[in-house]
Structure 1
């Protein structure tokens, strides 16, 4: 994330504003003429679209505002509007597809009636989806239980539990109390270890350290372990890794630790984010290096890797289980259908050769405070023998 002392990227903002203007114009021209409301109602629609166009870029501008309270207010305004307009735009496009197909098979009178009711339905559905999405995003993530079947798992590791949290994105709209509730829920699980798989923050240590302080309370028999996500690199990764280490999180950068559990050993490794080398060349993500020197007779080998894209290298290195995040499960419809264009897995448990890959939907959210069709989660993973 750029430092707030730098000047805003005015040329970029201009391009973004022009694109947003065209998108808002499209929505207005396609919906307002068919809306079954009086002229003053359509005028309110024009005013709302104008306000949306003005507020959306504030998510970018907020990064360059020095006064934290104002930066957060701008971040809230832009993020809320981003979520609402995103759904409005998608539903407007789907309405046009519906009307286009209908025009091929329906007579003009029916087509006209369809245009009227569908124009009214789009904003109503937008409001409903946005309200439900806001509630789902702002509530504390629910606990999801997942069993990981591992051949040859030692009896001592049967039932070993890992509590995974990921993609919290402490920043303009997620603060201390939100994270505090997550930590309480994780500690209630009494897991054997806690895994934090990246993207904890969206902002600098200077501005967010008071809000990440609850992480110091995370408690587990074998401790808490953290790997970097891409947003740590946007936000000053070196400073954040130092801060997380100060809070008691064990930062794993292409290295492993051996945990002794009731007479059996478990290798826990972590890699830097898949894109880390783009920010710090010497921190290229390397699952093989993370496992180098690990005991060959370990009961199981677990890798923490922010992005699911690390899976092929993890499988080749000989890991049994990879825990990832990054995708948010798509966060809200319809973007959950597009995650596979960039990542091999969207959410849940998958198999790649001998490797199990679990991808968390995330414990917070990024950008719009909105989750629809992709609920947040605190994951309790249990190792079981097969």
Structure 2
């Protein structure tokens, strides 16, 4: 209860400051009343949906949108609050000085009047994240981007020169609310005409049934050498309550069956070999392994029991912390590891080739894009779907296409 009271108090303070700024652009009582009505509806809806919320009960679309609209108002108001508190740093000491030096002879209020231009600038700046978040909720979450990389390896088998891999990750099918947009993205994947399609975990939020409306759509995926997948932390059903362990186990079995129906070969600490012209490429898939309290079911040694040290290896591992803590320093050389998990926090700023920032960097060392250490590559896919916040701002849903080339190793 106490944390809710603190939370509501902070929101009220931000609202009061934002309202002061808002009054600088209009004095119309109807408009001002509409401001409070919208604010109360959004905070009321948020509290209604989240008071007493238990993540184990599941996360619905109404929870997502309540959270999304709350963030859409809170972030701009916090920007206004910071700007106007900055002004108060000067106004308050000045008011105290006037109180003690002028006393009852002071004219008017001890506080100097707010400067309208500061309020207007604060509102103008705050309008940018507000518009961005609203766009992210309605358009950004389906703003699919195809990111292409070419990686060169000296020890790539000649038969695989020019081999194309499409990576998809973090589908989170239970979050989708537009079947047609998902269908468009699946067609976009097929248009890449890659040799193989690799999915790196989190097919659902919690339950296998989330995937049912999309089985036909995902079943359209095609690649010459097939479709392969691994499990992510959400696929195990660990974040919701079950009537019994048997029910939880059956949910995972149902998810495995759904993936098979789509056409995925699910690798559970296993490996497969793709062969061409008498040469082979080792495809390794581990179960989820992550730091920070996430499931550590991945077993790299078990997954590679049939793989030779000199095989060219592509590893699928959902969480990039596995690469950081285990993979890159392993006795085996893993040429390319494909991960996801972070979603790039679904929020950030990217100028391709120039600049990349997201709050995700405070949690993950490797959070989005391609990394290279000791001649081993890691690609952290930004995710195909979304979770919790029903949108994406600046960090768009990603389809990764990686072409493998024979030659001098990529630096």
Output the TM-score relative to the length of structure 2.
0.77
Distance 1:138 1:339 in 2: 17
Distance 1:279 1:345 in 2: 16
Query: Residue deviations 1:138-181, cap 9 Å, x none?
Result: 43512111112223212211111111111222124445333222
Return closer, same or farther for 1:18/1:251 CA change in 2, 3 Å cut-off. Answer: farther
Choose which of 65, 70, 75 in structure 2 pairs with 1:87: 75
2:46 alignment partner in structure 1: 56
1:8 alignment partner in structure 2: none
Aligned length: 364
Distance 1:117 1:181 in 2: 41
1:47 alignment partner in structure 2: 37
**Secondary structure, in 3 states, of the residue corresponding to 1:217?**
coil
Return closer, same or farther for 1:363/1:16 CA change in 2, 3 Å cut-off. Answer: farther
Return closer, same or farther for 1:130/1:268 CA change in 2, 3 Å cut-off. Answer: same
2:295 maps to 1:285: no
Alignment of 1:1-386 (within 5 A): 17-18=4-5, 20-35=7-22, 36=24, 37-38=26-27, 39-56=29-46, 72=61, 74-75=62-63, 77-92=65-80, 94-96=82-84, 99=87, 112-121=115-124, 123-134=126-137, 136-233=139-236, 234=239, 236-275=251-290, 284-298=297-311, 300-312=312-324, 313-317=326-330, 318=332, 319-333=334-348, 336-385=357-406, 386=408
Distance 1:81 1:28 in 2: 15
Query: Residue deviations 1:283-322, cap 9 Å, x none?
Result: 6222233222213342x10111111111131223321111
Deviation at 1:80, TM superposition (A): 3.4
Task: Name which one, 1 or 2, has greater alpha-carbon Rg.
Answer: 2
**Secondary structure, in 3 states, of the residue corresponding to 2:329?**
helix
Deviation at 1:231, TM superposition (A): 1.9
Deviation at 1:32, TM superposition (A): 0.8
Deviation at 1:261, TM superposition (A): 2.5
Q: Which runs of 5+ in 1 are unaligned?
A: 1-13
Output the TM-score relative to the length of structure 1.
0.81
Return closer, same or farther for 1:381/1:279 CA change in 2, 3 Å cut-off. Answer: closer
213-222 vs 283-292, which moves further: 283-292
Checking the alignment, whether the CA contact within 8 Å between 1:16 and 1:57 is kept in structure 2 is no
Q: Which runs of 5+ in 2 are unaligned?
A: 93-110, 241-250, 350-355
Pairwise CA RMSD of aligned residues? 3.4
Checking the alignment, whether the CA contact within 8 Å between 2:17 and 2:81 is kept in structure 1 is no
Checking the alignment, whether the CA contact within 8 Å between 1:168 and 1:201 is kept in structure 2 is yes
